[in-house]
Amino acid sequence: MRNTPRADRPLPESPGFPLVEVVVTISLLGIVGAFALSRFTRLANTARATTVATLGANLRRTAEAAHAQFLASGAHLSASTIEGKSIHLENGYPGTGPDGIRNVVIESDGFTAHEGAGFVTFIRAGAPAAQQCAVTYRHAPAQSPVPPETDIDVSGC
């Protein structure tokens, strides 16, 4: 004999959640997670771009401080001391070699340095487009009053 519910007898209560409630809850969590993920990704990109811009400002300040020491010496220094570290000067500004600007830059954690002829590029690690999340320091041209260039690219951060 089959046990069929009758109008005078209530249906048995289930101790769990109905399938519809579980599906709706998981869907809502997925939607909220999608919004949160995009916000956190944007926040990480902004943080990487800020560290690149800060490093660029530090490179400029270091070059200005070294050049001020160079001028104060009567334009005779071949090396300058900044924050207790000696840096090689080229044309009155920090050079791009390992004993130049790279020697004095302290806030370079999370960056890799790539040296070329007359420039050094600090590339931010972990960036989606690493070459486009970088700062490049170019030394001053010979016998020119033009200060070194610091190019900041945060388009790929």
> pTM surpassing 0.75?
no
What's the total number of domains in the chain? 1
pLDDT band at 53 (very low <50, low <70, confident <90, very high): very high
Which pLDDT score, from 0 to 100, does residue 143 have? 65
pLDDT band at 12 (very low <50, low <70, confident <90, very high): low
Identity of the amino acid at 26: I
- Domain containing residue 136: 19-153
Contact 122, 112 (CB under 8 A): yes
Classify residue 13: in a domain, yes or no: no
What's the CA gap between 96 and 59, in Å, rounded?
11
Classify residue 66: in a domain, yes or no: yes
Classify residue 76: in a domain, yes or no: yes
Classify residue 53: in a domain, yes or no: yes
pLDDT in tens, 92-112: 889 888 888 888 776 567 888
Classify residue 10: in a domain, yes or no: no
pLDDT in tens, 116-134: 888 999 999 888 887 899 9
> Over 90: is that where the pLDDT of 136 sits?
yes
